Amino acid sequence: MSPPPLEGKPRLSIPGSAVCAGSVSRRTLEIPQLPAFLPEVEDFAYLRPPFRSHKRGLDLLLAWGHRPSAKIAARLARRRGLPLWTLEDGFLRSVWLGRDGAPTLSMVVDDEGIFFDAHRSSRLERLLLVPETWRSAALREEAQAVMAAIAFHKLSKYNAAPPRDLSYLTEPGRPLVLLLDQAGKDQAITGACADGGTFLRMLETARQENHGAKILVKTHPDALAGHRPAHFQPDALPADCQLLAESLNPWSLLAAVDKVYVVSSLMGLEALLAGREVHCFGVPFYAGWGLTQDRAEGAAAEAALARRAGSRIDLTDLVAAAYLLYSRYADPITRKPLGCLEAIARLAQWRDTLERRRGKVLCVGFLKWKYPVMRRALAASPHDVSFVSFDKLPQADVGGVDRLAVWGIPAKPQREMLAAKKRPVVHVEDGFLRSIGLGSDLTRPASLSIDELSLYYDATKPTRMERIILETDFTPEILERAERLKRAILEARLSKYNMADSGLPDLRALAGDRRIILVPGQVPNDASITYGLVSVPNNEALVAGVRHENPEAFIVYKEHPDLVAGNRPGRVGQEAFGGSCDLFLEKGPILDLMDLADEVQVISSLAGLEALMRGKPVACWGMPFYAGWGLTRDKVTVGRRSRSLTLAELVAAALLLYPTYIDPETLLPSQPEEAVAGLIARRNAGERSWGLSGPRWIRQLRRFHRLLQEMRRF
């Protein structure tokens, strides 16, 4: 392998075009956007134990940090004479902790060492030793923009912690000194030529050098989450020291202190960005360049600092090398490469979305397979979401709970139990662009409806959907975005479940010159019927009513897919409809039926909204959320719905402003446009529901298998 160039923005390079990278870590190869992080690699191979066979065409090996698997990869690389690339999380990683399952937004790739190991040179260190080979006015200008953006958005490696007002810590005339703890057994400690004793020496030195100051000791987020132990415990600290064992945005803390003492925490670099004086008792990658007070001891530390002594850089050079040249960025949702400033904007967007979900949530009565999604969708941190059954709710302690969450609208006895806890209640349901496959088949949703008033299908009282429609000033920008989203949905032929289904008979030939009316069925015990102010009690009565009003029409009834799959009770045969419908269908693409229909009539089915988006006349025998605004022919009226809407305004309310979008794979907050792209990608990849194929016992076995898979992931 030729040495990588240092001109411009250096990247690792390999001669030839067909590059295959092997890894002994399956977890590394499961990183969703790994190909975007490593565009040099065209193929990835998982190497299984005992690692004796040489895969033909293998060009290099990948290792992750200093994990045990990395040591195996290093031995294999030496034995086979292959290059070794070491991967690690970048410096702007994610919103949640990596140990909480959050995918990374940034990665570093190093063919010499790794940035946190000062015992040997790394690609980052070599960059910083020769800044004159890559420094340019344009790169420095970009680095300054990165510094300003990080400071403006107050970003760190992890970004779920809330900002805090720390004025209560300050005392007039008394300095504040910050000591940064790190999680035990962190490779970044030993890699920085330090150990557990270094933290004690750092504490004593800080106390001796800052007489009269208040010393704050910040616990690492991994220790706060219980993933790894901390070095400092509250009962072991001197009286002039205060332990901050709470989750808070690092920039809130940096704004309050005067000095920062660190072993090798990345927060030391952020302290430099915040303009603080930084004392390093280890050798992190940002030490030894004249930007920090270097206090590391020992032969290894002295050797590492001596390597860096010949180069003097400023903070802009350090940021340019670390964030722009050494780090790579890729979106885990879109799986596309990003620039550094794009990654910062993306991270800030996610963090701002989470900021609106602050508080502890107790989920009541949820099925266990929904737990992972609820942990990400209902609060800023997965550790702020807990679960309890309705049976145990009366005994549950809700003292620290900010709100309760329930699925759908519970029955009256359960609502009374919730009310007794005297906490706000939010209702959760599936969104309108849901998945490839049925929710009853345990398919993760791409969108959710979260409503603090009731739910969109509840016509008996005001909902957040109604409030949005009645109070929103639909600006031209919102309407234009709604039109683009509608076009994308129509072009992709997306619906709520996007089921792969069999073809249709020739309806036009069957109907002749008669008008075709499509009647989508609904689950008989569905809450949208219970709370939808319906004028007919069930599907049979709906079809009979449509026939009574349209005696000459060709009426097509399409059974609900949940009933066909056997996942919900209430399925009836064609004989239950007598002669009211001309064609009874259990299968067939609902969107193809809409294309052929002259009109769609529903009780309260979401198919009515999908028909409106496709320009079809819609009659409603209940009061779904899209009825009562002048776009449908309504059998029921609600006086609250006093505004007339355009279709674009309805689409904006229903698909842009009301739902909560979540990426089913990463569980990150997403946008409606990303949800559409993701549904298209999953459909094209062949993902589909298991619900409509095979005998019932096979369907149940598949559902159980999918549940086990879901619970194993988190």
In whole angstroms, how far apart are CA 240 and each of 147, 211, 216, 217, 247? 34, 10, 9, 11, 22
Q: How many CB atoms lie within 10 A of CB 169?
A: 16
Whether residue 472 contacts residue 657, with contact meaning beta carbons closer than 8 Å, is answered with yes
CA 21, chain centre distance (Å): 28
Q: How is residue 407 written in tokens?
A: 């699925």
Edge-to-edge strand list for the sheet holding 43-46: 43-46, 20-23, 58-64, 84-89, 106-110, 327-330, 337-338
Q: Is the pLDDT of residue 344 over 70?
A: yes
| Nearest-angstrom CA–CA distance, 567 and 525 | 13
| pLDDT digit string, tens, across residues 475-500 | 999 999 999 999 999 999 998 888 76
SS3 514: coil
Single-letter amino acid, residue 548 = H
Q: Is the pLDDT of residue 688 over 60?
A: no
| Nearest-angstrom CA–CA distance, 239 and 246 | 19
Beta strands in 337-471 (DSSP E): 337-338, 361-364, 385-388, 403-407, 425-430, 447-451
Burial 301-332 (b: 16+ CB within 10 A, else e): beebbebbeebebebbbbbbbbbbbbbbbbbb
Q: Is the pLDDT of residue 12 over 90?
A: no
| pLDDT digit string, tens, across residues 268-289 | 999 999 999 999 999 999 999 9
| 157-304 and 503-675 agree in CATH topology | yes
| pLDDT digit string, tens, across residues 224-271 | 888 888 998 888 899 889 999 888 999 999 999 999 999 999 999 999
Contacts of 293 (CB under 8 A, 6+ apart): 277, 278, 279, 280
Edge-to-edge strand list for the sheet holding 516-520: 583-585, 554-558, 516-520, 599-602, 618-620, 633-634
What's the confidence (pLDDT) of residue 361? 98
Contacts of 682 (CB under 8 A, 6+ apart): 436, 664
| Strand pairing class (425-430; 403-407) | parallel
Give the residue among 251, 307, 315 at the shortest CA–CA distance from 286: 315
Mean pLDDT calculated for residue range 389-414? 96
Q: How is residue 33 written in tokens?
A: 């956007």
| Nearest-angstrom CA–CA distance, 542 and 546 | 6
User: What percent of the chain has pLDDT above 70?
Assistant: 92
DSSP secondary structure of 637-699: --TT------HHHHHIIIIIIS-EEB-TTT--B--HHHHHHHHHHHHHTT---STTSS-HHHH
Q: What percent of the residues of the chain are helix, what percent strand, and what percent coil, each to the nearest 5?
A: 40, 15, 45
Q: How many residues are given for the chain?
A: 714
| Nearest-angstrom CA–CA distance, 537 and 515 | 25
- According to DSSP H, which parts of 242-390 are helical? 250-254, 267-273, 299-308, 315-319, 340-355, 371-377
CATH number of 157-304: 3.40.50
Q: How is residue 550 written in tokens?
A: 């349209």
Mean pLDDT calculated for residue range 350-379? 95
DSSP H or E segment with residue 392:
none
Q: How is residue 297 written in tokens?
A: 């001891």
Per-residue pLDDT band at 439 (split at 50, 70, 90): confident
Beta bridge partners of 241: 215
CB-count burial class (<10 Å; 0-12, 13-18, 19+) for 138: exposed
| Nearest-angstrom CA–CA distance, 678 and 672 | 10
| pLDDT digit string, tens, across residues 509-535 | 999 999 999 999 999 888 999 999 999
Query: In this structure, is the dihedral angle defined by the CA atoms of residues 626, 628, 631 and 633, taken in order, positive or negative?
Result: positive
What's the confidence (pLDDT) of residue 686? 75
What's the confidence (pLDDT) of residue 569? 78
What's the confidence (pLDDT) of residue 341? 98
The DSSP letter of residue 5 is P
Least confident of 52-61, 353-362, 377-386, 537-546: 52-61
| Strand pairing class (176-180; 259-262) | parallel
| 499 Rama class: left (phi>0) / alpha (psi -120 to 50) / beta | beta
What's the confidence (pLDDT) of residue 712? 46
What's the confidence (pLDDT) of residue 694? 42
| 185 Rama class: left (phi>0) / alpha (psi -120 to 50) / beta | left
Query: What residue ranges do the domains of the chain occupy?
Result: 157-304, 503-675
Least confident of 86-95, 408-417, 585-594: 585-594
DSSP secondary structure of 170-213: -BTTB-EEEEE---TT-HHHHTTT--HHHHHHHHHHHHHHSTT-
What's the confidence (pLDDT) of residue 2? 38
Mean pLDDT calculated for residue range 167-171? 87
| Strand pairing class (84-89; 106-110) | antiparallel
| pLDDT digit string, tens, across residues 541-558 | 999 999 999 999 999 999
| Nearest-angstrom CA–CA distance, 527 and 415 | 15
SS3 61: strand
* CATH class of the domain whose range is 503-675: alpha beta
Q: What is the pTM of this model?
A: 0.88
Give the residue among 658, 232, 597 at the shortest CA–CA distance from 432: 658
| pLDDT digit string, tens, across residues 19-76 | 899 999 999 999 999 999 999 999 999 998 876 555 557 899 999 999 999 999 999 9
Q: How is residue 150 written in tokens?
A: 């990080």
Phi, psi (rounded to 5 degrees) for 364: -115, 120
User: What percent of the chain has pLDDT above 90?
Assistant: 76
Q: How is residue 181 written in tokens?
A: 């703890």
Phi, psi (rounded to 5 degrees) for 286: -90, 0
Q: Is the pLDDT of residue 8 over 60?
A: no
Q: In the chain, how long is the greatest CA-to-CA distance?
A: 95
Contacts of 93 (CB under 8 A, 6+ apart): 102, 104, 105, 106, 157, 158
| Strand pairing class (447-451; 425-430) | antiparallel
Q: Is the pLDDT of residue 18 over 80?
A: no
**Start-to-end Cα distance in the chain:** 40
CB-count burial class (<10 Å; 0-12, 13-18, 19+) for 212: exposed
Helix crossing, 672-684 with 476-492: angle to 10°?
10
| Nearest-angstrom CA–CA distance, 190 and 511 | 78
Helix crossing, 137-153 with 340-355: angle to 10°?
0
In whole angstroms, how far apart are CA 397 and each of 161, 386, 402? 24, 11, 12
Give the residue among 144, 150, 102 at the shortest CA–CA distance from 344: 150
Whether residue 465 contacts residue 456, with contact meaning beta carbons closer than 8 Å, is answered with yes
What's the confidence (pLDDT) of residue 13? 55
| pLDDT digit string, tens, across residues 124-157 | 999 999 999 999 999 999 999 999 999 999 999 9
| Nearest-angstrom CA–CA distance, 181 and 265 | 8
| pLDDT digit string, tens, across residues 200-223 | 999 999 999 999 999 999 999 888
